[in-house]
Amino acid sequence: MSKKVYVGMSGGVDSSVTAALLVNQGYDVTGVYMKNWSKDLPGFKCPWQQDYQDAKRVAVKLKIPFKMYDFETEYRQKVVDYMVAEYRKGHTPNPDVMCNQEIKFGLFLQTALSDGADMIATGHYGRIVGGKLLMAKNLEKDQTYFLYRLSKEALSLSLMPIGDYQTKAAVREMARQFDLSTAEKKDSQGICFVGEIGIKDFLLHELGPQAHGAIIDQFGREIGEHDGAIFYTIGQRHGLQLGGGLPYYITSKDMPRNEIHVSTDLQDERLWNNKLVLIDNHFINLPPKINSTYAIRTRHRAKLIKGRVIEISDQSLRLDLEEEVRAVTVGQSAVVYDDEVVVGGGIIS
């Protein structure tokens, strides 16, 4: 009897092809649309209804059952509230990491299994081999940075067939061969759950206008005013409205004083770091070894930097990097790789 697989179908081409491939491979496939967010925001219409219809259209084409799981309440609690709380602290969190841990490979997996599924599948660019998470063959699209908090158990019950494709063009070509209506649909941008809206607009909606404060340059001079320190992140150069001349880069934030510190010097030492301390760490199989060297990624699509494990404890992981990294940001994730295998990672503190 073929395995029953519930495929998370977002209405995009990647999850559509995932479902088609698994049907082709003989699995008993059910499509599931996860309704995580449906709220319109001022000037931005949430695309959930269109995405739901696109996913349903593909399911009808593939002749598979299709259902919707409503996770809005849990999504608000586990992802949105977490993200907003982190921004309040002056951190820059990554909601995609939390969404994968808590919703897609947490709540969706548990709900699907209790609903009769043997496994789940998603349209993520990653590979699951022998209980390990590996980078996708398409390194441009690789999403393992967002997947490092998955448990070994969740991986053993998940499939990611898209991870074996070398290019996005190959995935779209497969969608055309299956005659799927999402073959030419553009990839979604913006926040993972809302759609085409910037994080500042979202935070303004959630938290309202913030207290303005001083912008201080590298010489200690007040050169302007910001509209809320929570809206800005380390390394940012746009949106400061400081006029012409050389661009300014944010080097640090002083939340108690509500100040943003900037510099016109891209080589400013406050912008660069070769030491990392990670907290709230998660390792998929075994933790990294002391004094061993691994490849470290400090943001999605950033280049891999060699780093040595200096210290590891229940509370933290300390890494020395072989070269300095620009704009290391508190609240973001750093992910540890052993060649193409994801070891795990943690939150930059």
128 with 160: CB under 8 angstroms?
A: yes
Amino acid residing at 16: S
Task: Name the burial class of residue 202, with classes exposed (0-12), middle (13-18) and buried (19+) by CB atoms within 10 angstroms of its CB.
Answer: buried
Task: Name the burial class of residue 209, with classes exposed (0-12), middle (13-18) and buried (19+) by CB atoms within 10 angstroms of its CB.
Answer: exposed
Residue 244 DSSP symbol? S
Q: How many CB atoms lie within 10 A of CB 24?
A: 13
109 with 7: CB under 8 angstroms?
A: no
Q: Which positions ≥6 away from 195 have C-beta within 8 Å? A: 44, 45, 46, 47, 188
Of 19, 109, 128, 192, which is the active-site residue?
A: 192
46 counts as catalytic: no
Residue 44 DSSP symbol? B
44-56 exposure pattern, b = at least 16 Cβ within 10 A, e = fewer: bebbbeebbebbb
Give CA torsion, residues 31, 167, 94, 247, to 10 deg. -150
| Maximal CA-CA distance, the chain | 72
Q: Which two tokens stand for residue 132?
A: 């390990």
Of 64, 79, 99, 271, which is the active-site residue?
A: 99
- Backbone torsion region of residue 259, taken as left when φ is above 0, otherwise alpha when ψ lies between -120 and 50, otherwise beta: beta
47 with 57: CB under 8 angstroms?
A: no
CA distances from 49 to 34, 53, 131, 180, 278 (A): 11, 6, 35, 18, 39
Q: Which positions ≥6 away from 263 have C-beta within 8 Å? A: 217, 218, 248, 249, 251, 270, 271
Which residues are tagged catalytic? 99, 192
